[in-house]
Amino acid sequence: MDLDDESPPTDPAAALRLIQDQRSAAARRLDPDARLLYWPWAVAWLIGFGLFFLRFTPGDRALVDLPSWLPLTVLFVLLAAAGTVQAVVSMRAYGQVTGESAQRGKWYGYVWALGSVSIYAGLGRIAEHLPHDQAALLWSATAVGLTGALHMAGGAIWLDQDLFRLGVWISVINLIGAIAGPGWHPLVVAVAGGGGMLVAGAIARRRQRQRQQS
């Protein structure tokens, strides 16, 4: 065994480069590609809500003759896929992380799960008494509004400006879509919401690279 290979570099510049390389490698392991956290949700919103608009256009018309069950089914499948991707990526990056930050992340995940289930349970009892277009607006506006609020909460917890701003953006476009009414809401959410997540993922990834290179 060559002990010289295990000895630290004697050149200060080489030692500094080694420290920077190790720091960058650790950052890459603990900071997953932001695009994997944002873009699966963006695709789900673009396609899922886009199909809703094509099938349930304003005026109770259909731009594309799709089965009535298809948009909701596709949306749920894509949302489940996006959640799976996020869970896998997060576990690989943060699975070995302990301490206060890990506890916050775990509790934040519980908020998402329990908050969604409790709200949707209540909506299920109300929506059945509404016309189809109004029930669809109630479901989608509430779901998107919850997403925006929880994004803002996550940004406040971790002081993440990008996440907080995305939550504000989602909340604003959800309000605009709700005011526009049934049929228009899914179009606004698909284009502005899904598109906003694509942009947010690209910006977050660029800042990641800047941090890793610094």
Q: Exposure of 149 by Cβ count < 10 A (0-12 exposed, 13-18 middle, 19+ buried)?
A: middle
pLDDT recorded at residue 95? 64
Tens-digit pLDDT profile for the chain (214 aa)?
A: 454 555 555 566 554 555 555 555 444 555 678 899 899 999 999 999 999 999 988 877 889 999 988 998 998 899 889 988 988 887 776 666 667 777 887 888 888 888 888 988 888 888 888 998 898 899 999 999 999 999 999 999 888 888 999 999 999 999 999 999 999 999 999 999 999 999 999 998 888 888 767 6
Q: Is 57 helix (H, G, I), strand (E, B) or coil?
A: strand
> CA 214 to CA 208: how far, in whole Å?
10
Contact residues for 202 (Cβ-Cβ < 8 A; gap 6+): 35
Single out the residue of 162, 150, 167 nearest to residue 205, CA to CA: 162
Q: Maximum Cα–Cα distance for the chain, whole Å?
A: 79
> CA 203 to CA 200: how far, in whole Å?
5
| CB 59 within 8 Å of CB 183 | yes
Single out the residue of 37, 39, 20, 34 nearest to residue 212, CA to CA: 20
pLDDT recorded at residue 17? 56
CA distances from 143 to 79, 83, 137, 149, 157 (A): 12, 15, 10, 10, 21
Block residue for tokens 């570099």? 9
| CB 20 within 8 Å of CB 13 | no
pTM of the model: 0.81
